[in-house]
Structures are given as structure tokens and as C-alpha cells.
Amino acid sequence: MEEIVKRLRERGIDVEDVLIAALARQDPQESVKLRISLAERYMAECEKYLKGDPVQASEKAYKAAEEVAKALAEKFGVPELQTALKEGRWYAYLLGKASNTLARMLGGWIADGWSNAYFLHVWGFHEAKLAVEDMTYYVNRVREMLNEAKKVLAT
């Protein structure tokens, strides 16, 4: 099994996402819970990396926001979810569009969190241009996104 997972990851396939998406077809509520749990794990990892590894901290914050956006998209059945299912995966542009759709429904905190996470993904992870001290505002917006999503999903 480990060899299969390794080969899939080498091909750029997000194994956890594929499994959660499969679960969503059978039990959407459980997949939403798993995505939020995964987002919490990524946020905790981000906090650890903020002690000295801005590249990894940036990517973990982005991954947390990604899971929050997917969880909310699944919960509220936004049109972008159908596109992601049809395409077989979530693309960053779809997550951005879903965040905008969700922001109109639930509040600007979603689009704000997503935008800040994407900034971290590009400038902190891919370009490696941010120091830890440059990331405070952006990480806080992602943390707020996660906390607000947990409130919305608890009701």
C-alpha cells in the first residue's frame, strides 16, 4: 500500500483528497468533518514551522485554507464543487471562485482567508520570499478563516 501511495504522490495526486472526495459521495457530513480536522492539523503544523521555516509554514497555512474552502464548498454545494468533481480535482482558481461564492453567502472572511493563504502559497512557498516575521498578518487571516468555518459548521 505504501508503494502505491508513493507512486501516486510522485505523479502529483493528492491521495488524502481523493479518498475524502470518495467518502463525500457516500457521507458528505463525514467528509466535511475530516476536511476541518485536516485543516486543523495543517494549521498546527504551520504554527510549529513559524519557529524558523517560513517556506513550510506558508505551505501548511495554504493547505489549511484549501481544506476549509473544500469543506465549506461541500457543505453548501456551491457550483464550483460540481466543476471540481467533473474535472476530477480542485484547482486553485476553482477554490478562489468557490471562496468568492461562499463569501457572498457567509461573509468576507472566507475570501479574505483564501486570498491571504494564496499569497503565502505563492510568495512564501513557491518564491520563498517571506521571512517568518513577514507572515503574521497572513497566517492570522487563515487562522480566522478556520475558526469562523468551525463556527458555521457547528450550527
Contacts of residue 100, Cβ cutoff 8 Å, sequence gap at least 6: 111
Instruction: Give the pLDDT band of residue 45 (cuts 50, 70, 90).
Output: very high
List, for residues 68-98, the tens digit of each pLDDT value: 999 999 999 999 999 988 888 889 999 999 9
Q: Which domains does the chain have, with CATH numbers?
A: 2-154 (1.20.120.330)
Higher pLDDT, 17 or 39: 39
pTM value > 0.95: no
Region of 58 on the Ramachandran plot (φ > 0 left; ψ -120 to 50 alpha; else beta):
alpha
How is residue 133 written as a grid cell? 516575521
d(CA 72, CA 84): 14
